[in-house]
Amino acid sequence: MITRNQIIHYTSDELIRVSIALTTGIVEKARQRHNLSPVASAALGRTMTGAALLAGDYKNHEGVSLKVAGDGLLGAVHADCFDTNKLRGYVDNPQVDLPLKVNGKLDVAAGVGQHGQLTVTRFTPEKTTYTSQADLVSGEIAEDIAYYLFTSEQVPSTISLGVLVSQDYTIAAAGGFLVQALPGAKDEDLARVEANITQVGALTTYLQDHPNGEGLIDIILSGMHFKELYRQNLYWRCTCSRQRFENALLSLRQEDKEALLKDPQVEMTCQYCGAKYVLSHDELAALYEAAAQRHKQN
Ligand SMILES: [Zn+2]
């Protein structure tokens, strides 16, 4: 079965909005690019999935950055979602490995740490940014995001995030959902949704059995009238490029340029996506020569 990376938005007559994100392929890409340990895969996968859900929750925002900075061994977990559907992210210490919890699950809370802050930055199409912060409540990320949404944005939300890592460290399933009450939603309807959600069981198990989230919305909004608003494919993408790498090399001081020309090659790895850019000595010399020629002509 082909698993899709996508986000689907629904709304119900009872004024409840639900977004479901399926991110198995994207989390697997992140794992490969950053050589993530299982607990790092889980922490970054949950954070990136959370970023996709947050980016889509206001139509007038086009991007969001999450930084989960706890006191655990993983260091900070960074995830960006831009254009509402392009994801990237990294973990400060991607190879940290930790013992499983007694229930056999990955100990994300121990890796992230239970003390620290979740920082959320939202970007609007006008390039205005809004940053706000909330304390971490558990280090499990979903609860931390829900607490942030309630305290900083005054939106009561339920969020569930899950990443299942296989024995061979590949990602077996990843995804999540966000449920938000629109103004005017009734308490009894919210209580019904809360009860419905318990029927989903463990999200990772559900996604393993239903890789494209089949039937998930029917459980979450069981007994309600709802419709799909829209769906979008999600992508693992970064804003880095060879051109940006070259521009960075061109902006160096003269003595730094000369120092680089003593090396057989110069390389840079993008911290966000793990892409590696390499210029040989000759290519670097040609780059600087071309810039010097342009400078003379001006
Ligand atoms: Zn990059």
Alpha carbon of 121 to ligand 1 centroid (Å): 19
Q: Distance between CA 279 and CA 296 in Å, rounded?
A: 24
The CA distances from residue 205 to 109, 158, 170, 175, 193, in Å, are 19, 19, 16, 11, 20
188's CB contacts (< 8 A; 6+ apart) are none
Q: Distance between CA 280 and CA 155 in Å, rounded?
A: 52
Percent of the chain with pLDDT over 90: 85
Alpha carbon of 275 to ligand 1 centroid (Å): 5
Alpha carbon of 277 to ligand 1 centroid (Å): 10
Q: What is the pLDDT of residues 48-92, one digit of tens each?
A: 999 999 997 655 567 999 999 999 999 999 999 998 899 999 999
Q: Distance between CA 38 and CA 250 in Å, rounded?
A: 38
Alpha carbon of 83 to ligand 1 centroid (Å): 16
What are the b/e assignments for 237-249, b being 16+ CB within 10 Å? bbebeeeebbeeb
Q: Which CATH number fits domain 6-236: 3.40.50.1360, 3.55.30.10, 1.10.260.40, 1.10.490.10?
A: 3.55.30.10
Mean pLDDT of 174-178: 97
Q: Distance between CA 43 and CA 74 in Å, rounded?
A: 9
Alpha carbon of 122 to ligand 1 centroid (Å): 20
Alpha carbon of 126 to ligand 1 centroid (Å): 23
Alpha carbon of 80 to ligand 1 centroid (Å): 11
Q: What is the pLDDT of residues 263-272, one digit of tens each?
A: 999 999 999 9
The CA distances from residue 5 to 52, 160, 174, 209, in Å, are 11, 17, 10, 16
First to last CA, the chain: 58
Alpha carbon of 260 to ligand 1 centroid (Å): 22
Q: Distance between CA 175 and CA 146 in Å, rounded?
A: 16
Alpha carbon of 42 to ligand 1 centroid (Å): 20
Radius of gyration of the chain (CA): 22
For 260-284, the three-class secondary structure string (H helix, E strand, C coil) is: HCCCCEEEEECCCCCCEEEEEHHHH
Q: Is the pLDDT of residue 118 over 70?
A: yes
Alpha carbon of 32 to ligand 1 centroid (Å): 14
Alpha carbon of 245 to ligand 1 centroid (Å): 10
Spell out the alpha helix ranges (H) of the chain: 24-34, 38-55, 108-112, 142-153, 187-200, 203-209, 216-220, 242-250, 254-260, 281-297
Tokens of 36: 């993530």
Residue 20: strand pairing partners: 8, 177
pLDDT, position 59 = 58
Alpha carbon of 256 to ligand 1 centroid (Å): 23
Q: Which residue has the higher pLDDT, 294 or 59?
A: 294
Alpha carbon of 174 to ligand 1 centroid (Å): 22
Mean pLDDT of 220-240: 95
Mean pLDDT, rounded, of the chain: 93
Domain 242-297 has CATH 3.90.1280.10: yes
Q: Which helix H or strand E contains 234, and what residues bound it?
A: none
Alpha carbon of 237 to ligand 1 centroid (Å): 8
Mean pLDDT of 201-219: 95
Alpha carbon of 88 to ligand 1 centroid (Å): 8
236's CB contacts (< 8 A; 6+ apart) are 5, 25, 26, 29, 30, 33, 86, 87, 88, 273
Alpha carbon of 5 to ligand 1 centroid (Å): 19
Q: Is the pLDDT of residue 127 over 80?
A: no
Alpha carbon of 271 to ligand 1 centroid (Å): 7
Percent of the chain with pLDDT over 70: 98
pLDDT, position 1 = 61
Alpha carbon of 270 to ligand 1 centroid (Å): 5
Of 35-44, 54-63, 212-221, the poorest mean pLDDT is in: 54-63
pLDDT, position 171 = 97
Alpha carbon of 35 to ligand 1 centroid (Å): 15
The structural domains of the chain, with segments of one domain joined by +, span 6-236, 242-297
Could you say which DSSP state residue 40 is in? Answer: H
Q: Name the residue among 67, 70, 71, 61 with its Cα closest to residue 80.
A: 67
Q: Is the pLDDT of residue 106 over 70?
A: yes
